[in-house]
């Protein structure tokens, strides 16, 4: 039977290290209890536990809003609980979700959303929630319908926040997918996009907002505070950060600080690619669109990372405490690529 569903894959990280530190019996018991709890949480949010897969759980939801609500609850509750656990047992959650048509046969489910949810779980990493564009589209549709009917209640449709990671090449899939990261931490400020719509027009932060980003290319390192942005990355000497390569456009990309986040916008003829250190196999391709830069990673200008000769700029996003402290953000700027 074909049905429309949101598939969610929840996996525990660090189980191998836990087994090595504490032994099979204790860790297996903990994993069993955690995965059973995950199943109960999904069912409490109107989901269905499809199956348990070792230290992972596959769940099915009829509505994306409930799937997102469940994922946020899982991350918040599990993170709080881990604070009281011994370090070897602090196995964190990584969650991926995708929406679309699936084939339901007996108690099992098959289809592209199942495979994509599993892949996104791996790519999201510890504490992450990644979702495909179908999930976000359903969130918007549900909210618009609720607003029109006058029955919008406080909840995930009104409060969930997310940011676009751009078009990402997912292992095992032929075409890049539009992927979003869902923010769940209550400590995260409202610097990210919300389900009220796409990233609004730039609201530039003041000089006191803190934070900096360091860029490095062939021995050249520059650190920009939020107040010093926007700057352009390009081939011409007037660019804020100069990369002298013929594949780099004169003004190739714009780096700015929008709503508390460092945003890179492609302006080039041949495109820009971004990858993050925690997920080096996942590339974000930019063609006249933008991407939020976080933590550390690399930016390929004019050619993808598959071209070993591509000009690649390393970046490091730091908190306000590190602002303006210079090149030490990279141990070796020329080797940071």
Domain boundaries, the chain: 2-194, 207-335
Report in angstroms the alpha-carbon separations of 103 from 65, 100, 231, 268. 21, 10, 49, 42
Q: What is the pLDDT of residues 158-175, one digit of tens each?
A: 556 787 777 777 877 878
pLDDT: which is higher, 133 or 187: 133
**Which of 80-94, 162-176, 200-214, 293-307 is predicted least confidently?**
200-214
Domain 2-194 has CATH 3.60.90.10: no
The Cα 311–Cα 244 span in angstroms is 9
pLDDT: which is higher, 144 or 223: 223
Contact 143, 123 (CB under 8 A): no
Least Cα distance to 8 among 78, 80, 66, 79 occurs for 66
pLDDT at position 333:
33
Report the CATH architecture of 207-335: Sandwich (2.60)
Least Cα distance to 157 among 64, 56, 248, 73 occurs for 64
**With 50 as the cut, is the pLDDT of residue 321 above it?**
no
Label residue 54 exposed, middle or buried (CB < 10 Å: 0-12, 13-18, 19+): exposed
The Cα 152–Cα 175 span in angstroms is 36
pLDDT at position 186:
53
Measured torsion, CA atoms of residues 193, 194, 199, 200, in degrees rounded to the nearest 10: -130
For residue 52, list its beta bridge partners: 57
Beta strands in the chain, from DSSP E residues, in sequence order: 2-12, 47-53, 56-61, 93-105, 108-110, 129-132, 161-168, 177-183, 193-194, 212-217, 220-225, 231-234, 241-242, 253-258, 261-266, 272-276, 279-286, 290-293, 296-301, 312-318
Q: What is the mean pLDDT of the chain?
A: 81
Contact 324, 225 (CB under 8 A): yes
Q: What is the pTM of this model?
A: 0.58
pLDDT: which is higher, 195 or 160: 160
Report in angstroms the alpha-carbon separations of 136 from 161, 177, 194, 230. 10, 13, 10, 29
Angle, alpha carbons 199-300-189 (nearest 5°): 30
Report in angstroms the alpha-carbon separations of 15 from 32, 51, 83, 90, 95. 12, 19, 17, 9, 15
Report how far Cα 248 is from the mean position of its chain's Cα atoms. Answer: 27
**With 60 as the cut, is the pLDDT of residue 155 above it?**
no
pLDDT at position 29:
87
Q: What is the pLDDT of residues 224-279, one digit of tens each?
A: 999 999 999 999 999 999 999 989 999 999 999 987 889 999 999 899 999 998 77
Tell me the two tokens of residue 268. 């080039």
Whether residue 230 has a cis bond before it, omega within 30° of 0? yes
pLDDT at position 153:
56
Mean pLDDT score, 39-55:
94
Report in angstroms the alpha-carbon separations of 26 from 21, 54, 55, 79. 10, 15, 14, 20
Tell me the two tokens of residue 105. 């046969």
Task: List Cβ neighbours of 318 (8 Å cut-off, separation of 6 or more).
Answer: 211, 212, 213, 214, 329
Highest-confidence segment of 92-101, 144-153, 202-211: 92-101
CA distance between the termini of the chain? 49
Tell me the two tokens of residue 220. 């050249």
For residue 45, list its beta bridge partners: none
Q: What is the pLDDT of residues 105-138, one digit of tens each?
A: 888 999 999 999 999 998 888 888 999 999 998 8
């Amino acid at each position: 039977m074909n049905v429309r569903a949101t598939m969610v894959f929840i996996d525990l990280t660090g189980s191998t290290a836990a087994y090595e530190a504490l032994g099979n019996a204790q860790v297996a018991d903990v994993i069993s209890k955690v995965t059973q709890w995950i199943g109960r949480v999904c069912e409490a949010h109107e989901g269905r536990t499809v199956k348990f897969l070792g230290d992972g759980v596959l769940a099915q939801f009829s509505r994306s809003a409930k799937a997102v609500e469940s994922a946020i609850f899982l991350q918040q509750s599990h993170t709080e609980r881990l604070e009281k656990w011994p370090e070897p047992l602090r196995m964190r959650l990584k969650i991926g979700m995708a929406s679309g048509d699936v084939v339901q046969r007996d108690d099992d489910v098959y289809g592209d959303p199942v495979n994509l949810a599993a892949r996104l779980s791996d790519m999201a990493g510890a504490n992450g929630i990644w979702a495909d564009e179908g999930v976000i589209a359903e969130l918007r549709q549900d909210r618009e319908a609720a607003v029109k009917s006058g029955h919008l209640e406080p909840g995930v449709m009104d409060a969930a926040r997310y940011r676009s990671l751009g078009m990402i090449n997912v292992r095992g899939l032929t075409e890049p997918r539009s992927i979003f990261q869902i923010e769940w931490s209550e400590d995260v400020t409202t610097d990210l996009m919300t389900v009220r719509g796409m990233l609004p027009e730039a609201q530039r932060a003041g000089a006191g907002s803190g934070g900096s980003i360091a860029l490095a290319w062939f021995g050249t390192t520059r650190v920009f505070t939020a107040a010093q942005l926007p700057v352009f990355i390009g081939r011409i000497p007037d660019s804020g950060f100069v990369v002298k390569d013929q594949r780099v456009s004169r003004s190739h990309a714009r780096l700015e600080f929008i709503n508390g986040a460092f945003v890179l916008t492609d302006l080039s003829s041949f495109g820009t690619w971004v990858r993050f250190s925690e997920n080096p196999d996942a590339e974000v391709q930019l063609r006249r669109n933008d991407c939020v830069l976080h933590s550390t990673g690399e930016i390929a200008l004019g050619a993808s990372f598959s071209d070993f000769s591509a000009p690649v700029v390393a970046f490091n996003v730091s908190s306000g405490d590190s602002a303006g402290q210079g090149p030490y953000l990279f141990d070796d700027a020329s080797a940071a690529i």
